[in-house]
Structure 1
Amino acid sequence: MKKDLRFEKTEKNLQEAFLHLLQAKDLTKISVKEICQLAQVSRNAFYQHYETQRTFIREPPAENPSVYGGGLPTSR
């Protein structure tokens, strides 16, 4: 199923916000609220795209899957 441009833009904004926060904070200290505020999207929009924060973190950006560098934990 093809995603519309608004959907793709929201995902891109969320991913960029997360990467920005990751440069300044430890992964465990980043909240969905902070990601959404920086991305300028609602928490509802976040959860329309991703089931959980963990799902979001595990899903690499579509246009550059190696951007997370494989350094994120896969289990807890």
Structure 2
Amino acid sequence: MNSILSIAETAAIIGCSPRTFKNKLWSDKKTTLPPAHKAGRKVYFVRDEVEQWLINQPVINAPAKRRPGRPRKNAQGVA
């Protein structure tokens, strides 16, 4: 069923916080987001489009790495 989702509901489906999703939505960077439908200043999403967008996303299997130049802390919290 094509149900209309708000930003908070879409963020829950994607798996991030509503604030993070809203920041990505309005950022100048070209991030990939599900197709949005704007009505004035409000943004809505369609559940089927969001689910299809999630299915088509590439899977990243690489482990997350720390940024270069940031040493790991030992048990005492000292680098």
What TM-score results when the alignment is normalised by the length of structure 1?
0.31
Point out which structure has higher relative CO (alpha carbons under 8 A, 6+ apart): 2
| Greater radius of gyration (CA) | 2
- Say which structure is richer in strand: 2
